[in-house]
Chain A
Amino acid sequence: MSTTTLEKPAVGAPTKQKVMLCEGNEAAALGVALARPDMVAVYPITPQSSLVEHVAKLIADGRMDADIVDAEGEHSVLSVLQGGALAGARTYTATCGPGLAFMFEPYFRTSGMRLPIVMSIVTRDGITPQCVWGGHQDAMTVREVGWVQIYCETVQEVLDTTVMAFRIAEDHDVMLPVNICLDGNYLSYGTSRVELPEQSDVDAFMGAKDVNWHVALDPMKPMAVDPLTGGSGGKGPATFVRYRKSQCRGMQNALGVIEAVHAEWASRFGRSYAPLVEEYRLDDAEFAIMTLGSMTGAAKDAVDEAREAGRKVGLIKIKTFSPFPVEALMRALSKVRALGVVDRSVGFRWNCGPMYQEVLGVLYRLAREAGTVLPAMSFIGGLAGADITIGHFHRVIDATERLLDGPAPNEPVWLNEND
């Protein structure tokens, strides 16, 4: 790892940032260190392992002052952090695939207790068939559990978003756990140039820590945390409903907070990302393809090539998947007349990609409110670590373009089936 220091062009406050080469897992670890958590709990799993190794080494080297718990499994990893957060700790962990499945029980409860825990998911496809390779199946499977889920496209974005995630989670209008999703293999091990912000600048960005103002285990202010709600006939269900509703409100609040935090990040550090939905060459596009995560780089190259060939294609990338950015997507989708959605996971129930299925809800809103019926189709690619190449995206572009004049198929296109 070689580093140099360069002066950033001033966007907001001028900052010196160290330039270095590192893999996505190391970038995540560096982002965690910058956010200064009090407690991290770790358990290794491919392709997340090097991330927690980097975290452990940062702590061992004295570059990060956090209590590290080498727990005996992911279930306990998240449970330890719940206890820590209830006592006031800023907390972090990372997992994926089977580890995420194993921690599902405390995972569900984390959002219910409104604990602002940050956890990277180094995404991995679901077993079985046995597979240790990348894919979004793990994170997609738990998308309905009340965690904010943000997908990254580049190694630099992993670093930056990891820091931002703590601000988003701990915002008093949000108070929800956040997953930063980085593609296993492609982002976890992909090595890239990154700029590392100064700790003092990040400290100024983070502000004061206040994670358990709403629920705490502390003899100085004794309370029962999460007592049982009574059954039907009493006030229990109404209490429960109000609670659930407030969780949903927190999720909706997160949309604005994510935007504000990204804007502040851009002004302080000079790097801006579309916080919810990125529109790429969309303004004069007739049709668009939709992507998620690291596949977007190849997709943008394919769009550029198609543009050079005179085809009116644009790209919509979702960065914030949960809460689903409905309004931002409606604005983007209102600009085009056909859509191809590329998923890196499977929606078993509908025989399509899960992101495609989510987008159908937005298309319904668009039809109802703007009277526009947009033909769309589902592509599934990149399963089990398969590469979605520029060539694959040309197929996506071709097939999506045909929707402008032809029928929309109800079957998904499986991109890597015959590779």
Chain B
Amino acid sequence: MGRAYSTIAFDPAKCDGCGDCMTACAQAKTGTIDRARSRIQIVGRGDTIKDATKDATEKAFELALCRQCADPKCVTVCPAGALAKDGASGVIGWDASKCVDCLLCTVGCAYGGIALEEATGHVSKCDTCDGKPACVPVCSKGALTYVTTANIYNEVGDWEDLFAPGLAGCQGCNTELLMRHTLRRVGPDTVLATPPGCVPGMGSVGFNGATGTKVPVFHPLLTNTAAMLAGVKRQFKRMGREVTALAIAGDGGASDVGFQSLSGAAERGEQMLFMVVDNEGYMNTGMQRSSCTPYGAWTSTTPIGAGCAAGQPAQGKTQDAKNLPLLMVNHRCAYVATASTAYMEDLYAKLDRAIEASKTGFAYVHVYSPCTTGWRFASDQNMEVARKAVETNFVMLWEFTPDEGLNFTRPVDDPLPVTDYLKAMGRFRHLSPAQIEHIQGKVEENIRFIKRFAAALPA
């Protein structure tokens, strides 16, 4: 049932408020140039709209346009059945013959996507001009684009979700999203290892004899995931059966106490896909520091306090994070990649390559996974935090194979200042200017280091 709907996308950073789109819409739909009758409305915030001294991001134009919602509130509130979503195109259509002009739909919509058109006395809304929206081609700034969304859903929507519904992750948990997508992609012919942490903690291994996963799943020790999974895989190979050995492990168990077994398995080229969900600490046990916790971050074992020594207050972690994926590159694994759920197509491409590599060697995928509970941000901000990490180069997305070397899959040549990332979370709220400077310096050092490292590798 997968279906990608096409929609009109808006980039406020590129919009200068010229209004050409509104004119084009009015012409196409009413034969007039009355922008008030346009179904697309560009709305400025106060006096910034015409202030040329403001840069694009500060102008903050907003778009009032029908989003063709998947769960449209306008349809729900309509008492006359005049609004309906077309299953094939996804467009929400309005039927003049049924409309009673009550305007409840305009109240139901949060996007200003349907409004009273005073010239006609009825509501009007965008119908995407049957797939050829008049507004898009006239936008000379490129702020409007007509895009097909949900490509991933279209591709994988029919694949079976191999976890039970209703896992007990925190609200807005990124890891649950990652687990479900990963296992969909890897498929049912899999043995899954989920060492102690959030992944089994939310119920994937189940409780009291009931399982939360449709594939065979086990709960190794925090310390032995890679070794135990290697034994499973080797025996299936000996029996001539093709089974994917998959680990979904937290950063603590992988980088600290389980690092020996991880390193040993990688060195031996054990055939598995080892995914680390890096939420930068022991989040399941109460948000303690791991060696992947970044400098300056508050955790429950690197708390903020006055400190014992005069002038040396406790201000979060005092060391930089261990770069685990680079350590795995130094094991010359068959495949190593970093990924982020904010860049899902990139993640899926890497999963494809990792699964393939795991048939002959050790594949390692390190996914940065913001933790709404432990990092202290609102539960609807996960993708935003994940995206900001990449846009500031705090997190870099790359992949490595012994033949191709290390390549950036989503290079950010003009990164945002790291403060844009840090300020999105409570765990960095206490940072001093000196600490922020240290982090910005480390971000720049890291990108230089990885680029030099990449240049020194083959290809």
B145 contacts the other chain (Cβ, under 8 Å)? no
Taking the closest CB of chain A, its distance from the CB of B50, in whole angstroms, is: 61
B231 with A87: CB separation less than 8 A: yes
Spot the interface stretch: B1-9, B38-46, B201-209, B377-385: B201-209
Instruction: Point out the residues of chain B lying under 8 angstroms from A224, CB to CB.
Output: 205-206, 210-213, 216-219
B89 contacts the other chain (Cβ, under 8 Å)? no
Instruction: Point out the residues of chain A lying under 8 angstroms from B226, CB to CB.
Output: 76
Instruction: Point out the residues of chain A lying under 8 angstroms from B238, CB to CB.
Output: 38-39, 67, 89
Candidates A79, A85, A222, A239; contact of B221 at CB < 8 Å: A79
Bitwise, A209-232 to B at CB < 8 A (1) or not (0) is: 000000011110111111111100
A84 contacts the other chain (Cβ, under 8 Å)? yes
Bitwise, A304-338 to B at CB < 8 A (1) or not (0) is: 00000000000000000000000000000000000
B228 contacts the other chain (Cβ, under 8 Å)? yes
B232 contacts the other chain (Cβ, under 8 Å)? yes
A227 with B209: CB separation less than 8 A: yes
Taking the closest CB of chain B, its distance from the CB of A22, in whole angstroms, is: 28
A87 with B261: CB separation less than 8 A: no
Q: In the complex, A83 Cα to B235 Cα: how many Å?
A: 8
A399 contacts the other chain (Cβ, under 8 Å)? no
Instruction: Point out the residues of chain A lying under 8 angstroms from B268, CB to CB.
Output: 69-71
Candidates A84, A222, A230; contact of B208 at CB < 8 Å: A230
A79 with B218: CB separation less than 8 A: no
Q: Which of A33-78 contact B (CB under 8 A)?
A: 38-39, 41, 67, 69-73, 75-77
B12 contacts the other chain (Cβ, under 8 Å)? no
B200 with A228: CB separation less than 8 A: yes
Bitwise, B262-291 to A at CB < 8 A (1) or not (0) is: 011101100000000000000000000000
Q: In the complex, A386 Cα to B189 Cα: how many Å?
A: 55
- Answer whether A84 and B243 are a contact pair too, CB < 8 Å, given A76-B224, A219-B189, A227-B209: no
Q: In the complex, A317 Cα to B236 Cα: how many Å?
A: 43
B157 contacts the other chain (Cβ, under 8 Å)? no
B219 with A229: CB separation less than 8 A: no
Taking the closest CB of chain B, its distance from the CB of A45, in whole angstroms, is: 16
Candidates A75, A86, A225; contact of B227 at CB < 8 Å: A75
Candidates B216, B230, B232; contact of A223 at CB < 8 Å: B216
Q: In the complex, A82 Cα to B233 Cα: how many Å?
A: 12
A106 contacts the other chain (Cβ, under 8 Å)? yes
A276 contacts the other chain (Cβ, under 8 Å)? no
Instruction: Point out the residues of chain A lying under 8 angstroms from B200, CB to CB.
Output: 228
A106 with B224: CB separation less than 8 A: yes
B263 with A72: CB separation less than 8 A: yes
Q: In the complex, A190 Cα to B233 Cα: how many Å?
A: 38
Q: In the complex, A219 Cα to B246 Cα: how many Å?
A: 12
Q: In the complex, A39 Cα to B209 Cα: how many Å?
A: 29
Q: In the complex, A255 Cα to B191 Cα: how many Å?
A: 35
Q: Which of A75-100 contact B (CB under 8 A)?
A: 75-77, 79-89, 91
Instruction: Point out the residues of chain A lying under 8 angstroms from B208, CB to CB.
Output: 227-230, 234-236, 239
A83 with B219: CB separation less than 8 A: no
Taking the closest CB of chain A, its distance from the CB of B324, in whole angstroms, is: 17
A79 with B261: CB separation less than 8 A: yes
Candidates A91, A219, A229; contact of B191 at CB < 8 Å: A219
Taking the closest CB of chain A, its distance from the CB of B273, in whole angstroms, is: 15
A144 contacts the other chain (Cβ, under 8 Å)? no
A392 contacts the other chain (Cβ, under 8 Å)? no
A216 with B216: CB separation less than 8 A: yes
Q: In the complex, A239 Cα to B209 Cα: how many Å?
A: 9
Bitwise, A194-220 to B at CB < 8 A (1) or not (0) is: 000000000000000000000011110
A398 contacts the other chain (Cβ, under 8 Å)? no
B119 contacts the other chain (Cβ, under 8 Å)? no
CB nearest neighbor in B for A221: B216
Instruction: Point out the residues of chain A lying under 8 angstroms from B235, CB to CB.
Output: 38-39, 67, 83-84, 87-89
Q: In the complex, A83 Cα to B229 Cα: how many Å?
A: 6
Taking the closest CB of chain A, its distance from the CB of B370, in whole angstroms, is: 26
Most buried by B among A77, A105, A225, A239: A225
The size class of the interface chain A forms with chain B is 35 or more
Taking the closest CB of chain B, its distance from the CB of A116, in whole angstroms, is: 14
Most buried by A among B207, B212, B215, B231: B231
B223 contacts the other chain (Cβ, under 8 Å)? yes
Q: In the complex, A77 Cα to B210 Cα: how many Å?
A: 29
Candidates A75, A82, A91; contact of B260 at CB < 8 Å: A75
Candidates A69, A73, A106, A217; contact of B218 at CB < 8 Å: A217
B207 with A72: CB separation less than 8 A: no
Taking the closest CB of chain B, its distance from the CB of A308, in whole angstroms, is: 55
CB nearest neighbor in A for B213: A224
A219 with B216: CB separation less than 8 A: yes
Instruction: Point out the residues of chain A lying under 8 angstroms from B205, CB to CB.
Output: 224, 226-228
A172 contacts the other chain (Cβ, under 8 Å)? no
A109 contacts the other chain (Cβ, under 8 Å)? yes
Q: In the complex, A358 Cα to B271 Cα: how many Å?
A: 46
B219 with A228: CB separation less than 8 A: yes
Instruction: Point out the residues of chain A lying under 8 angstroms from B376, CB to CB.
Output: none
Instruction: Point out the residues of chain B lying under 8 angstroms from A228, CB to CB.
Output: 200, 205-208, 219
- Answer whether A227 and B264 are a contact pair too, CB < 8 Å, given A86-B232, A105-B221: no
B260 with A79: CB separation less than 8 A: no
Most buried by B among A70, A76, A77, A228: A76
B234 contacts the other chain (Cβ, under 8 Å)? yes
Q: Which of B15-53 contact A (CB under 8 A)?
A: none
Q: In the complex, A91 Cα to B234 Cα: how many Å?
A: 12
B190 contacts the other chain (Cβ, under 8 Å)? yes
A88 with B215: CB separation less than 8 A: no
B228 with A80: CB separation less than 8 A: yes
Q: In the complex, A38 Cα to B263 Cα: how many Å?
A: 24
Q: In the complex, A73 Cα to B267 Cα: how many Å?
A: 13
B218 with A67: CB separation less than 8 A: no
B220 contacts the other chain (Cβ, under 8 Å)? yes
B214 with A226: CB separation less than 8 A: no
CB nearest neighbor in A for B234: A67
B228 with A82: CB separation less than 8 A: yes
Q: Which of A115-139 contact B (CB under 8 A)?
A: none
B239 contacts the other chain (Cβ, under 8 Å)? yes
Candidates B206, B213, B214, B267; contact of A72 at CB < 8 Å: B267
Q: In the complex, A76 Cα to B260 Cα: how many Å?
A: 8
Q: A41-B231, A80-B230, A227-B219 are in contact. List 16 more A-B contacts (CB 8 A).
A: A38-B238, A39-B234, A67-B238, A69-B230, A75-B223, A75-B261, A83-B228, A83-B233, A87-B239, A105-B223, A105-B224, A106-B221, A216-B216, A222-B214, A225-B216, A234-B208
28 A-B pairs (CB sep. < 8 Å): A69-B231, A73-B260, A73-B264, A75-B260, A75-B261, A76-B260, A82-B228, A84-B231, A86-B231, A87-B191, A87-B234, A89-B238, A91-B231, A105-B223, A109-B221, A217-B191, A218-B216, A219-B189, A222-B211, A222-B216, A227-B206, A227-B207, A227-B209, A228-B205, A229-B208, A230-B207, A235-B208, A239-B209
Contacts from A to B (Cβ < 8 Å): 38-39, 41, 67, 69-73, 75-77, 79-89, 91, 105-106, 109, 216-219, 221-230, 234-236, 239
Nearest 4 A/B pairs, CB to CB? A83-B231, A72-B264, A224-B211, A79-B224
